[in-house]
Amino acid sequence: MILWLNGELVPASQARIDPADRGFLLGDGLFETMMARHGRVAFLDAHLLRLARGAEAIGLALPLDPARIATACVKLLEANGLADAPRAALRLTLTRGPGPRGLALPPEPAPTLMIAAASAAPPPAGLTAIVATPRRNNRSPSAQLKAIAYLDNVLAKEEARARGAEEALMLDNDGHLACASAANIFIWENGRLLTPSADCGILPGIVRAAILELAPGLGVETLEDRIAASRLSRIEGAFLTNSLIGVVPLTRIGERALPAAHPLTARLAAAYELLLDSADRNG
């Protein structure tokens, strides 16, 4: 595997990150996970805008402008033989770089920027889920940042595996539905499409935004809302979204089976695929 690290393409076996890097020691950094199709990164501008906004929020200057980061992604795909791959995953990690011991910010940060690429499997037809014990802290300033400190989500995902499910649904500290371990969630309730609101500790996802834009054109009423966990027992269907899986239905939550092929979920998934195809042709 070839990595892009601080401006250079290097074999993963030769890559070196400073042992004092604050991303490694403190989780002081951000990341983006992106999907590329035949060498073109889907919603690249939106990902880089979110990265830039997140970096500004934590007081970290991007070491490269978005155009150069975009070029790095293309070169990395080529270096790994993925320029023609139907699906490839890109992981961009930005940290504040090395610093002295303790929590105080380094006076002159030297950020670390790394991009990795790998082939990506097709998304599953459906997923099962449980409501996990770990919570999303909706009062944390990092809740809406794609921060690399992901331990709560890791533990939630492991709980799902231990309980025989594939995904973990996480609640916020007030008991409202927030997200899955690495995805946003939508539910169907009384014919409307609902998704947790921004104050529920969610990361506002790129695909989430696309679905909210596409839905009205299909005659689907949407609502961003605080969704109590008890409402999950009455929903008509649900699906997850993220940049790698796109739109994937949930077939079971806990012991309750859900309709595997809600017709409106299928229509939204098809509209999203058309959006990707259009971006590929026009990008």
Give the CATH number for residue 69. 3.30.470.10
Give the CATH number for residue 146. 3.20.10.10
Cβ proximity of 84 and 48 under 8 Å: no
132 and 204 together in one domain: yes
> What share of the chain has pLDDT > 70, as a percent?
98
Question: In whole angstroms, what is the distance from residue 74 CA to residue 258 CA?
Answer: 40
What pTM did the predictor assign?
0.94
Q: Please, what's the b/e burial string for 209-233 (b: 16 or more CB within 10 A of its CB; e: otherwise)?
A: ebbbebbeeeebebebbbbeeeebe
Residue 31 pLDDT > 60, yes or no? yes
The predicted pLDDT at position 262 comes to 78
115 and 225 together in one domain: no
Locate 8 and state its tokens.
């250079």
pLDDT range class, residue 259, cuts 50, 70, 90: confident
Choose one of 92, 119, 146: the last residue of a domain. 119
Structural domain total, the chain: 2
91 and 166 together in one domain: no
DSSP 75-120: HHHHHTT-TT-S-EEEEEEEE--B--SSSSPPSS---EEEEEEEE-
Residue 206 pLDDT > 90, yes or no? yes
Collapsed DSSP state (helix, strand, coil) of residue 54? helix
264 and 165 together in one domain: yes
Domain housing 65: 2-119
Collapsed DSSP state (helix, strand, coil) of residue 67? helix
Cβ proximity of 127 and 250 under 8 Å: yes
The predicted pLDDT at position 282 comes to 57
Question: In whole angstroms, what is the distance from residue 246 CA to residue 237 CA?
Answer: 17
174 and 191 together in one domain: yes
Question: In whole angstroms, what is the distance from residue 239 CA to residue 159 CA?
Answer: 20
85 and 185 together in one domain: no
Nearest partner of 44 among 25, 71, 22, judged by Cα = 71
pLDDT digits 0-9 by tens, 244-258 = 999 999 999 999 999
Cβ proximity of 243 and 42 under 8 Å: yes
pLDDT range class, residue 263, cuts 50, 70, 90: confident
pLDDT digits 0-9 by tens, 89-114 = 999 999 999 999 999 999 999 999 99
The CA-CA-CA angle for residues 277, 281, 283, to 5°, reads 110
